[in-house]
Structures are given as C-alpha cells and as structure tokens.
Amino acid sequence: MKDTIMYGIVHGQNYAHDNIKKIKGRLSKEDGVTAIEYAVIAVAISVMLLAVFGNGKESFITAITEKFRILSTNINGTVK
C-alpha cells in the first residue's frame, strides 16, 4: 500500500514537472515577437524615408534645400 501511494506521489510530481517545463518552453518562444519587432522597425524606417524623401513642399529635403538657397543668397549679398 505504501509503495502504491509513493508511486502515485512520484508519478504526480514528474507529471507536474514535465507539464511545467512544456508551458515554460511555449512561453519562452520568441519567434513571433522577433517578427513583430522587425515589422515595427521596417515601418519606422519607411516613415522616416517618406518624411525625408517625400515629394511636394512639405518634404524635409525641399525645406532644407529652400533654407540653404536662402542662406546662399544672403551670403552672396554680403561677400564681394
């Protein structure tokens, strides 16, 4: 009788330990998280590139080019 109870206790502990290991293994998988992180980085880079190289008067390149043109005109007016 004692052997049967002891076997049941040990078997139950092993079963619980194995299931906990499986759950921890499933929770520690980070493949999906890594893919999401790369997607977020790709979107951030795309937004940055659109802001810098976008077309129209609102783009960063157009604004910087205009500021340098004004600066160049002001410098050319003062230097002889």
Q: Quote the pLDDT of residue 51.
A: 74
Cα within 13 Å of Cα(40), Cβ side: 6
The model's confidence at residue 16, banded by pLDDT at 50, 70 and 90, is confident
pLDDT tens-digit series, residues 52-72 = 777 777 777 788 888 999 998
pLDDT over 70 for what percent of the chain? 71
Domain coordinates in residue numbering, the chain: 2-78
User: Does the pTM of the predicted model rise above 0.75?
Assistant: no
- Over residues 29-55, the mean pLDDT reads 80
Nearest-Å Rg of the Cα atoms of the chain is 33
Alpha helices for the chain (secondary structure H): 2-27, 31-53, 60-78
Torsions phi, psi for 28 (to 5 deg): -90, -5
- Which of 42, 65, 39 lies closest to 52 in space, CA to CA? 65
Q: Quote the pLDDT of residue 57.
A: 72
